[in-house]
A = this chain, B = another copy of it.
């Protein structure tokens, strides 16, 4: 069963917002065995919507549309849907009650444009919106299912989880898709491919292996499609077993988790704790850790020591060290890691200090110069990195590298190996 996702909105095309709806929908559809064949983002213009609908009908059986249902004048999706289906707009009582209730709850007067949000094409089935005013619409048209939902992520999510996904599952007797991901670190894509070339060549036609490289890590994803769920899973597990066995020293995890999740799992199993002392990443490392449910079991918190003053006050970096070597130095970052470890009484600490940019570089220490230190009770390892001149990329790379250094420290893998 093939689906196409259409996201409507000029803000996506001009790059003002990143389309995260599609990724979420792709994942959920995949989980229930529906393959997404294409994701299409278009302008909220009549012709663009009509073209995309016609093309989508030639690609897929299920078409999920998000966006273009707001109350304001830039939203013309509903009128265009009427034109496409040869339908007319009618007022839907349930949708109108929903709009009224929401306005009542927030104690706002109901105005004409909001009332019109409850109008829907007369050939659709309404999907109630529990999180907003625009109703969703389910159409059946020439053997296709076409669903239109609001673009606000949590409104779309509410409709997908509450109605669309269960309904699609009920309707279709779908092939099973099974994915298995192996996270590796320390070996490049092409070297990994060479190591497991014979295994890959021996895979049956319906099992596919993909390499997804990302900053020092490569995710290997095995995907298989078939009618018998158990059989498909077994085949994939057996293939992944061969791969894992071949490249075991590069395997960080055998499920689709991040490096920081692998670290937290390791900490929990060993009943250990972690803290952070961040300068150039300014809280991003802490954020990546605390984004994970249950992280509070191992992560106690940490310091964002942006100013030199706070480096001294919070985690005891010596004024002389800062004076003699500067904030971006092996000495400072080592004192930060050891200081955080001692001050916050944990088993492990991550510290970093660098010049994230775009300004602040010197000939000595250009933008992108980053020092990272990781410390355990017995050991501290510091390493210098030279990244580029993009601030957000430097922050991202510093975080990833720091997790990688900690992961190696925890697993007693020498620093020289695997970078």
Interface residues of A (CB under 8 A from B): 10-20, 22-28, 30, 35-43, 48, 51-52, 55, 59, 70-74, 108, 111, 113-114, 152, 154, 179, 181, 188-191, 193-194, 200, 208-213, 219, 221, 223, 256, 276, 278-279, 281-287, 289-291, 293-296, 299-307, 309-310, 313-314, 343-344, 357-359, 388, 390-393, 395
- CB neighbours (8 Å) of A309 from chain B are 300
- Bound Cα distance from A96 to B37, whole angstroms: 34
Distance (whole angstroms) from the CB of A333 to the closest CB of chain B: 15
Q: Which of B52, B190, B313, B359 contacts A72 (CB 8 A)?
A: B190
Distance (whole angstroms) from the CB of A311 to the closest CB of chain B: 8
Q: Is there an interface contact between A72 and B299, defined as CB atoms closer than 8 Å?
A: no
Contacts A37-B43, A301-B310 known; 9 new A-B pairs at CB < 8 A:
A11-B212, A72-B189, A108-B188, A281-B287, A282-B286, A282-B301, A283-B286, A294-B359, A299-B306
Given contacts A301-B303, A301-B304, contact A16 B256 (CB under 8 A): yes
- CB neighbours (8 Å) of A294 from chain B are 359
- Bound Cα distance from A30 to B12, whole angstroms: 12
Distance (whole angstroms) from the CB of A341 to the closest CB of chain B: 14
Q: Is there an interface contact between A213 and B70, defined as CB atoms closer than 8 Å?
A: yes
Q: Which label, helix, strand, loop or mixed, suits the secondary structure of the A interface?
A: mixed
- CB neighbours (8 Å) of A24 from chain B are 15
- Bound Cα distance from A357 to B72, whole angstroms: 34
- Bound Cα distance from A393 to B281, whole angstroms: 22
- CB neighbours (8 Å) of A22 from chain B are 12, 15, 19, 41
- CB neighbours (8 Å) of A190 from chain B are 71-72, 111, 113-114
Distance (whole angstroms) from the CB of A354 to the closest CB of chain B: 12
- Bound Cα distance from A27 to B15, whole angstroms: 5
- Bound Cα distance from A306 to B191, whole angstroms: 41
Given contacts A26-B15, A359-B293, contact A210 B74 (CB under 8 A): yes
- CB neighbours (8 Å) of A193 from chain B are 71-73, 113
Distance (whole angstroms) from the CB of A403 to the closest CB of chain B: 14
Which residue among A10, A28, A154, A314 has the maximum number of chain B CB atoms within 10 Å of its CB? A10
